[in-house]
Structure 1
Amino acid sequence: MTIAPDDAQQGSTHRYRAMRDFVQSMDDTLPGKFEVTKEGIVHDMMAPVGPHELTTLHLRKRLERVMPDDNVAHTGEPDVEDEPEGIMRRPDVMVIALTDMAVPGSFDPRTLIAAIEVVSRSNPDNDWVGKMRDYPLMGIPVYAVFDPRTGTGAVLTDIHATPDGPRYATRKDFVYGEDVTIADWTISTANLPLYPDV
């Protein structure tokens, strides 16, 4: 859910820094994940265990089996930050070179090879709408989305200019069970968990 006003994107660097400071102060104090988006602050109430985390683990391990040793599928901190755009995100999996991780503070989004998100059951629009808008603005060349609600996903590439700003031009949808290519590496999506019916 967005917990800051929509006009946050019109605000100054001061407003962005205040939102960033708030988000960083919330780490480890409330469940879920806080991020600064073009619309304001988003709070994603992720479950701490279960299909979301298991999917993230499978994707990390499958990618690291096929990537060269100088690249990693990183999960966790730090955030990816584009201060001029007023965006701070934390992808579920960040494909990045080891050398690009050796920086103080947040990662530069333009050093990411790919960002991967596992759709949250509590806030799917954050992954399917907000991040689909924010990641090309940040210059992340590949965005892969895995949706345990439906057993489907998409890989988005080829950033291009539009009247609404940079957007991904190419979208390749997939169904769990198919092989999927993320950047230069192809992995299986077989046996990825689904969210249980409620």
Structure 2
Amino acid sequence: MTIAPDNARQGASHIYRAMRDFVQSMDDTIPGKFEITKKGIVHDMMVPIGPHELTTLHLRKRLEKVMPEELVAHTGEPDVEDESEGIMRRPDVMVIALADMEVPGSFDPRTLIAALEVVSRSNPDNDWVGKMSDYPLMGIPVYAVFDPRTGTGAVLTDIHSTPDGPRYATRKDFVYGEDVTIADWAIPTDGLPRYRDENTQEPES
């Protein structure tokens, strides 16, 4: 059976809305964070305190120290949503203008200046693989990844077309201790916390 393109799009939109309703119903019920990716629903069992949240706090404060007052490094709700792509994400830190936050519902991803993610201990591929594909599809111009497992990260920029869809063309890797440039602003990465081995309490390698 052949499905006409319009019917296919309507079917995909219906499936996406069903997934969105499920995610929103689960947000206050099950610990962790639910997101809708290009490939389906992801559940990240985040630890609510510790290196992940502390890194997010450091990044927010360091960015807001160097950015103009009309911009913020926002953490928390709402989600960033591109219904046409069937993607709903919630970056750990969103660099966005205050004026662009004054909207009902989810943020438009194309108003974000940058998205920052702190790699989850429980599901690192969500940040290093899934979001690296989803964010250029959503039109987010800068994606910065900070990995407390290894004390390293990367900044991805320059969205360009590929046979597999929009992708970031430029990747700049860094190690903790170096300054990193996110959009127009450089921030230090020294002192960012690391995940520790539960047995030795030494930083993970």
Structure 2, gaps ≥5 residues long: 1-8, 199-205
- Tell me what 1:80 maps to: 80
SS at match of 1:180: strand
Please identify runs of 4+ aligned residues in structure 1 that moved more than 6 A.
none
Matches within 5 A, 1:4-153: 12-153=12-153
**Length-normalised TM-score, structure 1:** 0.94
The one-letter amino acid of 2:84's match is P
Two-structure CA RMSD over aligned residues (Å): 1.2
Task: Output the CA distance in 2 between the equivalents of 1:28 and 1:197.
Answer: 30
**Aligned mates of 1:179, 1:163 — CA distance in 2:** 34
Write the distance in 2 (CA, Å) between the matches of 1:28 and 1:149.
28
Task: Give the Cα–Cα distance (whole angstroms) in 1 for the partners of residues 184 and 95 of structure 2.
Answer: 11
Q: Distance in 2 between matches of 1:25 and 1:46?
A: 18
User: 87-96 or 24-33, which moves further after superposition?
Assistant: 24-33
Q: 1:62 Cα deviation (Å)?
A: 0.1
**What is the distance in 2 between the residues matched to 1:66 and 1:125?**
30
Distance in 2 (CA, whole Å) between partners of 1:186 and 1:24 is 35
> Distance in 1 between the 2:136 and 2:103 partners?
22
Counterpart for residue 6 of structure 2: none
Give the drift of 1:112. Answer: 0.1
1:85 alignment partner, SS class: coil
Deviation at 1:109, TM superposition (A): 0.1
The secondary structure found in structure 2 opposite 1:22 is helix
Residue 12 of structure 1 deviates from its aligned partner by 1.1
* CA offsets 1:79-133 (integer angstroms, 9 cap, x no match): 0000000000000000000000000000000000000000000000000000000
SS of equivalent residue, structure 2 residue 76: coil
Percent identity among equivalent residues? 86
Task: For structure 1, list consecutive stretches of 5 or more residues without a partner in the other structure.
Answer: 1-8
SS in structure 1 of the partner of residue 84 of structure 2: helix
Distance 1:26 1:145 in 2: 26
What is the CA–CA distance in structure 2 between the aligned matches of 1:57 and 1:10, rounded to whole Å? Answer: 40
